[in-house]
């Protein structure tokens, strides 16, 4: 009788599946306030494939997770993020990659469009089945907050330090959120129309509702995050208007009309870096 985990080629044994619930979780995890340079971090984490990609060495991961991080001009937050996240994700025995999508230039920031770009670019690199859209300034405080994609889209940053660890309103979907490949395609990704602060996360919540999805969440004592301090971005004055008439655009504004110029892509040691130029078109 053949062992089930044995492959056809006897010289390459297949790894057993990783346990459903990772074995080494502890609950609350410490958040260090020691600053590291990127060079220091690169010496610290020597178990990553190029581009900051990781596979558990002793078992086959159940999920292949792409973390998509919208980014511009937050260097010290990025090092703090990488220092915290790599050990955190490895303890959860995931196959994962960290993709930093940086907006070039000084125009208004478009978080949602960078997410769409990250989704497209990540798929050119690995066969991801789960996408976690993640602010660079949020660090999870409990390792039972699993970075996976459940049956329904999951809003992960339920309790955030700067929001007094309370959900500000029921349909909030900003901060950190997880969608499967199929879910993200079904809703046509994020809207590309939200320039500047605000609204893009609520528009995504509306897209989910429109497609009969439900937002799932872990309990607030587990889905806790520390937000690193930063200045406020100028709010987008059009955000309410775009939110209000967003449903007219769900099927024409998103993944299917996404336009950008990729200026650079580097498989850095700790993350994949994609530099893009985006502009308001049509």
CB 174 within 8 A of CB 112: no
Phi and psi at residue 265, in whole multiples of 5°? -150, 125
Q: For residue 232, what is the DSSP state?
A: P
**Tokens of residue 101, six digits:** 């999508």
Q: Is 232 a catalytic residue?
A: yes
> Measuring CA to CA, which residue among 192, 173, 213 is closest to residue 259?
192
Task: Provide, rounded to whole angstroms, the least separation between the CB of residue 31 and Mn ion.
Answer: 15
Q: Closer to ligand UD2 at the Cβ: 61 or 195?
A: 195
Contacts of 272 (CB under 8 A, 6+ apart): 51, 52, 53, 97, 98, 99, 100, 121, 122, 125, 265, 266
Interacting residues with ligand UD2 between 57 and 86 (CB under 6 A) = 69-74
Which residues, 6+ apart, have CB-to-CB distance to 25 below 8 Å?
91, 92, 143, 144
Report CA Rg, the chain: 19
Q: Smallest distance from the beta carbon of 61 to ligand UD2, in angstroms?
A: 25
Q: How far apart are CA 157 and CA 28, in angstroms?
A: 15
| Nearer to Mn ion (CB atom), residue 137 or residue 141 | 137
CB closer to Mn ion, 143 vs 201: 201
Name the burial class of residue 215, with classes exposed (0-12), middle (13-18) and buried (19+) by CB atoms within 10 angstroms of its CB: middle
Q: Rounded to an integer, what is the distance from CA 3 to the centroid of its chain?
A: 37
Q: Is 195 a catalytic residue?
A: no
Q: Is 38 a catalytic residue?
A: no
CB within 8 Å of 49: residues ≥ 6 apart: 55
To the query of whether residue 197 is one of the catalytic residues in this protein, the response is yes
Residue of 141, 142, 200, 203 that binds ligand UD2 (CB under 6 A):
200
Residues 158-177 contacting ligand UD2, CB under 6 A: 160, 174-175
- The 8-class DSSP code of residue 267 comes to E
| Active-site annotation holder among 102, 137, 141, 253 | 137
Residue 209 contact partner, candidates Mn ion, ligand UD2, none, CB within 5 to 8 A by sort of partner: none
Q: Which is nearer to ligand UD2, 95 or 202 (CB)?
A: 202
From 102, 121, 135, 203, the catalytic residue: 135
Any catalytic annotation for residue 227? yes
Which residues 118-157 are close enough to bind ligand UD2 by CB under 6 A? 135-137, 157
109 binds, among ligand UD2, Mn ion, none (CB under 5 to 8 A by kind): ligand UD2
- Candidate list 102, 142, 200, 253, residue with the active-site label: 200
42 a catalytic residue: no
Q: Which is nearer to ligand UD2, 18 or 176 (CB)?
A: 176
Contact footprint for ligand UD2 (CB under 6 A):
69-74, 109, 111, 135-137, 157, 160, 174-175, 197-198, 200-201, 230, 233
Q: Which residues are catalytically annotated?
A: 135, 137, 197, 200-201, 227, 230, 232
């Amino acid at each position: 009788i053949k062992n089930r985990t044995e492959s056809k080629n006897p010289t390459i044994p297949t790894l057993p599946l990783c346990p459903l619930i990772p074995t080494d979780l502890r609950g609350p995890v410490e958040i260090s306030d020691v600053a590291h340079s990127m060079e220091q971090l690169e010496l610290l984490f020597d178990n990553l494939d190029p581009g900051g990609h990781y596979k558990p060495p002793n078992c086959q991961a159940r999920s292949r997770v792409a973390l998509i991080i919208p980014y511009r001009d937050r260097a010290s937050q990025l090092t703090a993020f990488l220092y915290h996240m790599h050990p955190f994700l490895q303890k959860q025995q995931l196959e994962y990659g960290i993709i930093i999508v940086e907006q070039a230039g000084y125009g208004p920031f478009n978080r949602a469009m960078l997410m769409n770009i990250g989704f497209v670019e990540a798929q050119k690199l690995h066969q991801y089945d789960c996408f976690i859209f993640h602010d660079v300034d949020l660090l999870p405080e409990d390792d039972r907050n699993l970075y996976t994609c459940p049956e329904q889209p999951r809003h992960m940053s339920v309790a955030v330090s700067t929001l007094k660890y309370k959900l500000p309103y029921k349909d909030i979907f900003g901060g950190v959120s997880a969608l499967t490949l199929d879910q993200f395609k079904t809703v046509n990704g994020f809207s590309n129309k939200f320039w500047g602060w605000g609204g893009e996360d609520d528009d995504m919540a509306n897209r989910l509702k429109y497609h009969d999805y439900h937002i799932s969440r872990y309990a607030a004592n587990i889905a806790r995050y520390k937000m690193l301090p930063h200045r406020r971005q100028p709010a987008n004055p059009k955000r309410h208007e775009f939110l209000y008439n967003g449903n007219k655009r769900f099927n024409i504004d998103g993944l299917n009309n996404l336009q950008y110029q990729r200026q650079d892509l580097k498989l850095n040691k700790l993350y994949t870096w994609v530099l893009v130029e985006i502009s308001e078109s049509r």
